[in-house]
Amino acid sequence: MISPLDVHLAGASGEVTGACTVLEYGGRSLAVDIGLIQGPASRELANATIPIEHPEWLDAVAITHAHADHCGRLPMLPRLGFKGPVLATPATADLLPMVLRASARLQRRLHGDHAATDRSAGVLFDQREVDRVCELIEPVPFGTTREVAPGVTVRFHPAGHVLGAASVLVEGPKGRRVLVSGDLGHDLGEPLPPPTAPPPAHLVVMECTRGDVEDPQLQHDPEVLLAQVLNAAAIDKQVVLIPTFAIGRAQQLLYRFGRLSRAGELGMPVMLDSAMASLVAPMHAAHPTNLSADASALLRRGIDPLDFPELHRIRSRRAAQVIKDLRGPAVVMAGSGFGDAGPIVEHFIRWLPSRRGRILLAGYCMPGSVVGQLLDDPPRLKLRGRWVPVEAPIDRLECFSGHADAAGLERWLCSMPGAQPRVALHHGDPEPRAAFAARLRRLGYDTMTPEIGVRLGV
């Protein structure tokens, strides 16, 4: 007799990185996501251990989207005995090799050439292991049912958030259905559409990153709010720095800058200091059915919704030298989105101490990260071992978050047809998780906030 379906919350319960959910059935299993833990160095040490007890028993791994906190430990699996397919939507399948290869290059830079043969040096995987796991990637279109074992199927449903992002429906023995939400976008996340209504499920493993926030800015046009920041920068001739994630936030901002440009309301150069973001933007045109109605309409007219004359793509550190002598008004978008690595650090050091700079924090700011510290009153910031004075004014536009706020999360769950499911909240810090759990309980949902390692029967 086939065993019941069990859900093992192996990562991202009570935190926002390291996503991993394992579904177990009949002595076999399926993983949804296998992400990196990001944050303080003490937490990142845990990345060296895969949170799956028997990787060799996995029939498949399904990836919700191509952010490192959801896919970043994939290349470690084959050396542990995993031989199954890596299932992802076509857009995510296109993005994964780029993301994983960039991660391997970063590890080599951080730990040196010897790291490829010395696991104790801190490296998690090398380029050969990335190539090996990329051979296992299998694109599965939205809405297509893929059997991974007798009586066990996977189906992807659009989640907004970033290009190709999906919620994953797993149907197991006796018709038991588990939906892993992945990260859910919001209603104004163009060039992507909002998440679609979720399919019926008995259990929803649901993200709650912004479960304690109702964002009033989502009641307004993001372009209007963005234009207000740019107008202030134009008056004071400032350089606007925007810490930017290469997949997701960069494209949201480029889409809005493009609309302002086509309306004749931009009036300043936009420097995109992110090689990966420059590569990802054109990939949206290769997946037009993933885009919003307005973005798709622009493509049909031969207009790239993420390109405009004022955009300058910086593809090397040598080319980025021009930003040091930049005069405002201008915009500099640079990674990383949390401000703790990448080219944004040198731009912060250059512009934070000056009123000629202006900081725009667009979207979610992880507490304790550099951008999180910029929200302190007063902000105190140490970069590359020295304190950096903060004189530049700081603006906050949460409407550019890749994540739905509490109201959006509630709307998504409540749009599920049929009976209310049980809900296990993950991918959320303790405060947002507690707040959203209370919100769902008031609506009558049987809601749990399990810790990492808990197993739930379905």
As a whole number of angstroms, the distance between CA 51 and CA 352 comes to 39
pLDDT of residue 442: 98
Average pLDDT for the chain = 92
pLDDT band at 1 (very low <50, low <70, confident <90, very high): very low
pLDDT above 60 for 115: no
Backbone angle region of 119, left / alpha / beta, with phi > 0 → left and psi within -120 to 50 → alpha: alpha
The percent of residues in the chain predicted with pLDDT above 90, rounded, is 79
Q: Can you tell me the mean pLDDT for 406-428? A: 97
275-283 vs 249-262: helix crossing angle, rounded to 10: 70
CATH number for the domain running over 6-213+415-457: 3.60.15.10
pLDDT of residue 281: 93
The radius of gyration of the chain from alpha carbons, rounded to an integer in Å, stands at 22
pLDDT band at 2 (very low <50, low <70, confident <90, very high): very low
Provide the residue ranges of all domains of the chain, joining segments of one domain with +. Answer: 6-213+415-457, 216-400
The percent of residues in the chain predicted with pLDDT above 70, rounded, is 97
Q: Which CATH number fits domain 216-400: 3.40.50.10890, 3.40.50.880, 3.10.450.200, 3.40.50.720?
A: 3.40.50.10890
137-175: pLDDT as tens digits: 999 999 999 999 999 999 999 999 999 999 999 999 999
Closest by CA position to 106, among listed 6, 36, 7, 16: 36
Look-up: residue for tokens 């990939």? 283
Q: Which of 118-122, 238-242, 325-329 has the highest mean pLDDT?
A: 238-242
> What secondary structure letter does DSSP report for 58?
E
As a whole number of angstroms, the distance between CA 154 and CA 145 comes to 6
**What are the distances in angstroms from CA 40 to CA 37, 43, 208, 308?**
9, 5, 21, 38
Q: Can you tell me the mean pLDDT for 236-250? A: 95
Residue 331, beta-bridge partner list = 240, 270
Total-model pTM: 0.93
pLDDT above 90 for 44: no
Least confident of 47-61, 89-103, 156-170, 206-220: 206-220
Is residue 193 within 8 A of residue 291, CB to CB? The reply is yes
Q: Can you tell me the mean pLDDT for 97-107? A: 92
pLDDT of residue 113: 57
Neighbours of 454 (CB within 10 A): 15
Amino acid identity, position 121 = A
DSSP SS3 for 67: coil
182-226: pLDDT as tens digits: 999 998 899 999 999 999 999 999 999 999 999 887 778 899 999
pLDDT of residue 226: 96
pLDDT of residue 118: 53
As a whole number of angstroms, the distance between CA 34 and CA 10 comes to 9
As a whole number of angstroms, the distance between CA 109 and CA 122 comes to 11
User: In sequence order, which residues have a C-beta less than 8 Å from that of residue 44 and are 6 or more positions away?
Assistant: 36, 37, 38
Q: DSSP of 352-392, one letter per residue?
A: TTSTTEEEEEES---TTSHHHHHTSSS---EETTEE----S
307-334: pLDDT as tens digits: 999 999 987 777 777 888 889 999 999 9
Counting other chains too, the contacts that 409-412 makes at CB distance below 8 Å and 24 or more residues apart are 409/184, 409/206, 409/207, 409/208, 409/210, 409/211, 409/436, 410/439, 410/440, 410/443, 412/181, 412/184, 412/195, 412/197, 412/198
Q: Can you tell me the mean pLDDT for 255-283? A: 95
Higher pLDDT, 14 or 3: 14
DSSP SS3 for 344: helix
CA 278 to mean position of chain CA atoms: 17
Q: Can you tell me the mean pLDDT for 100-122? A: 71
pLDDT of residue 221: 87
